[in-house]
Amino acid sequence: MKQPAVLRRLSAVPRSDLHDRRLAALVGSALGVAFALCFATGLLSHLIQEPPGWFDWVSRPAGLYRITQGLHVVTGFVSIPLLLAKLWIVVPKLIEWPPARSVAQAFERLSLLPLVGGGLFLVVSGTFNVARTYPWQFFFPAAHYWVAWLTIGALVVHLGAKWAVIRSSLGSPDGGRADVLEPRRRQFLAGVGATAATVFVAVAGSTVGPLSRLSVLAQRRPGVGPQGLPVNKSAVGARVVDAATSTDYRLVVEGKVAHRLELTLSELVKLPQRTAELPLACVEGWSTSAVWTGVPLRDLLDMAGAAADAEVRVESLQPRGSYRVADVSATHANDRDTLLALRLNGEELHLDHGYPVRLIGPNRPGVLQTKWVARLVVT
Ligand SMILES: Nc1nc2c(c(=O)[nH]1)N[C@H]1C(S)=C(S)[C@@H](COP(=O)(O)O)O[C@H]1N2
Ligand SMILES: [Mo]
């Protein structure tokens, strides 16, 4: 096989001494840790949103999801400078000719396609999702999820193939040459580290209050929005304004119940109320805490005569859209702080926060905190 002209020309470019094994292993290790954390927290988020039979997500501690998902988004963003630095360090290896000297090496190099391609796809699609921009046809959560498996699979193959090299490069700093080169490499590492730290600060403020003023890249800020809370989907955007403000509004409880309920807003207000401070934690990484007051879901289930282990499908007035329904497991339904909230931070719910009734519960992703609730179907 002849070496393509473009690769020949690229390999002739004089190389800086930064294209180095030890640097590759160091930056690669940081990237590996970031990817592993990002994968684990992403997998958890997927399990919570589409739970298989064996998985029952706890309702406590109330802010756990806020932390795991914050970590997911932050480690994803921090991966970007690490991934770019790592690719830059190994460019000479990527364009090496011939591409493989043995079957094993061919396999190892082929695994770089899903590893590099998958890694880039994940950080780019994740960034667009956080920006709530979808310049593509595919369904983001499914694509992001399956490519994550592919990428992690390729990462395991890569680690297996490179284990010996990684260990030796991290162990002995390159014999004698290291002494001469070390300051430049250290500078390079410091640069990569500073970039990653800057990205961290610029993003983490969407969840970590004290950092929020520094978070130029944060897509939402805690405390900014009606009633001090950000809004993802407005009432106008969800096409619920008329139904939500109509005097015909009823909250219906039906399905596997002894008696079907139909409650007006003033009947709901007269029921015993409970107040809880709970975070709203969006899958996109922003989160913010608020004080919610409303009727515990379990009280309504008891009034309707539902079973003690009842699960509930919560439906919104919103006519269309993937987030108009959410399932509540028995564990969450039985948590006293899982509320059909009528008030937020001491005021009647703002229309954009789900007036007249919104579901809010401890330790649930934002997408499962349904706004403009109209129907509870007990299953
Ligand atoms: N009916 C309905 N409820 C919804 C949504 C929606 O699009 N429709 N968005 C969800 C998402 S993704 C989040 S993060 C929270 C955001 O709540 P907020 O807009 O009140 O801050 O509401 C959730 N509840
Ligand atoms: Mo969300």
Running DSSP on this structure, what letter comes out for residue 372? S
In this predicted model, what pLDDT tens digit does every residue of 12-41 receive, in sequence order? 887 788 888 889 999 999 999 999 999 999
Ligand nearest to the CA of 232: 1
Q: 135 Cβ partners below 8 Å, 6+ apart?
A: 128
Mutation test residue for ligand 1: of 134, 371, 372, the one with most atoms within 8 Å of CB: 371
Mutation test residue for ligand 1: of 207, 224, 233, 240, the one with most atoms within 8 Å of CB: 233
Rg (CA), the chain: 26
Query: Is residue 339's pLDDT more than 60?
Result: yes
Helix-helix angle 177-204:64-94, to 10 degrees: 140
Q: Is the CB of 359 under 6 A from ligand 1?
A: no
Comparing 370 with 212, the larger pLDDT belongs to 370
Q: Is the CB of 366 under 6 A from ligand 1?
A: yes
Helix-helix angle 140-171:118-130, to 10 degrees: 130
Minimum CA distance residue for ligand 1 atom 12: 367
pLDDT band at residue 115 under the 50/70/90 scheme:
very high
Give pLDDT, residue 150.
Answer: 97
Give pLDDT, residue 179.
Answer: 47
In this predicted model, what pLDDT tens digit does every residue of 217-243 receive, in sequence order? 555 556 667 887 888 899 999 999 999
Give pLDDT, residue 19.
Answer: 86
- The whole-chain average pLDDT of the chain stands at 91
Minimum CA distance residue for ligand 1 atom 5: 323
Percent of the chain predicted with pLDDT > 90: 71
Minimum CA distance residue for ligand 1 atom 23: 367
Q: Is the CB of 371 under 6 A from ligand 1?
A: yes
In this predicted model, what pLDDT tens digit does every residue of 349-366 receive, in sequence order? 999 999 999 999 999 999
**Which residues are near ligand 2, the ion (C-beta closer than 5 Å)?**
282, 366-367
Exposure string for 298-327, b = 16+ CB within 10 A, e = fewer? bbbbebbebeeebbbebbbbbeeeebbbbb
Amino acid identity, residue 225? Answer: G
For the question of whether the overall pTM of this predicted structure is more than 0.85, the answer is yes
Mean pLDDT of 151-169: 93
